[in-house]
Amino acid sequence: MKRLFTALLILNMVIVVGTVGYMFIEHWSLLDAFYMTIISITTTGFAEIRPLSPLGRLLTVVIIITGVSTLAYVGGRAFQELIESQIFRRRKMSKQVKQLNNHYIVCGYGRLGRPICSELVANELPFVVIEKDEKHIDQLLENGFLFVPGDATQDETLLNAGIRRAKGLIGVLATDAENVYVTLSAKQLNQHLFVVTRAIEEEAEKKLIRAGANRIVKPYEIGAHRMAHLLIRPGVVDFIDIVARNKGIDLGLEEIMLGGHSPLVNKSLADSAIRQKLNIIIVAINRGDEQYIYNPTSSTTLRSGDRLIAIGHWEDLQKLNHLCDSKKMQKSV
């Protein structure tokens, strides 16, 4: 960049010297001298404004040689800087992706991918996007998101996104076939990966389950249910939105895993004093294999590995997170 600025400075000096030279040698006006200098530097081929004296012709030759050389150097350096900056940015991003661990992979940055990434950013969760559309890649660059360019259905692309170190994957590609393929490939590369994907057609749900998807979302069905609930019980839906998305009030609905070294292990809810000290309500306890204990009683014993579905103030939920010895609290969305 320093050399580029130096070349631009030399180019400006050539313009100034040429303009002053024509004014002094040929006794031209400022505009005529400046015009002659510019057409000489750019070699546009326009005729001379007036016949030149021998000294004026010599000045023109010097301007053409120095001006064209400087312009060529400036153009070459600018192109080189552009290419190098792109390469450097890609290398830096590739290095950052390689450093990710226990992260999420979003396959597709379309209409569903964009709000998903916004939710992950709001929850301060590490993620990388796989995208092959150049238009969407420009948007990813503009937003400063980590991404891997390429086809998410290819094993090499998934490996570049750190699939073996990832915690979860979200498949929101354009077609059901692509989502089935990426689910199958992802599960083969990382059996412990939690995969959430969407299904457009009804028949695709069974195929996605066979491919290994942990959760399947059908946008049209969810949209229909939500519209019906908004019509029938709008207050309930509004409250859930406010709590789950932290809109307007300082309340959160969280899922917190109870670690093995937590002092709460093997204690009852009454003895844990979660409600009394932290003012947090345990709505349910997930003990795996779809086993949920809804509205647990005060005598319910907490076990290592339990996932507590809790509602309370955000600050108190953070305290519960540390008390549960959980590595990272996951916000419900």
Would you say 160 and 104 are in contact if contact means Cβ atoms under 8 Å apart? no
- CA-CA-CA-CA dihedral for 191, 152, 121, 237, to nearest 10: -80
pLDDT in tens, 305-321: 888 888 888 888 888 88
Residue range 148-167, pLDDT digits in tens: 999 999 999 999 999 999 99
Summarize pLDDT for 76-90 with one digit per residue, the tens.
Answer: 777 766 676 666 777
Q: What are phi and psi of 257, to 5 degrees?
A: -85, 135
Q: How far is CA 278 from the centre of its chain?
A: 35
Tell me which of 22-26, 106-110, 148-152, 153-157 is least confident. Answer: 22-26
pLDDT surpasses 80 at 272: yes
The overall pTM is greater than 0.85:
no
pLDDT computed for residue 313 by the predictor:
84
Domains, the chain: 2-96 (1.10.287.70), 100-222 (3.40.50.720), 233-331 (3.30.70.1450)
Average pLDDT of the residues of the chain: 84
Give the pLDDT band of residue 246 (cuts 50, 70, 90).
low
Instruction: Output the pLDDT for position 180.
Output: 94
Q: How far is CA 158 from CA 107, 111, 161, 193, 232, in A?
A: 9, 21, 5, 12, 43
pLDDT at 117: 93
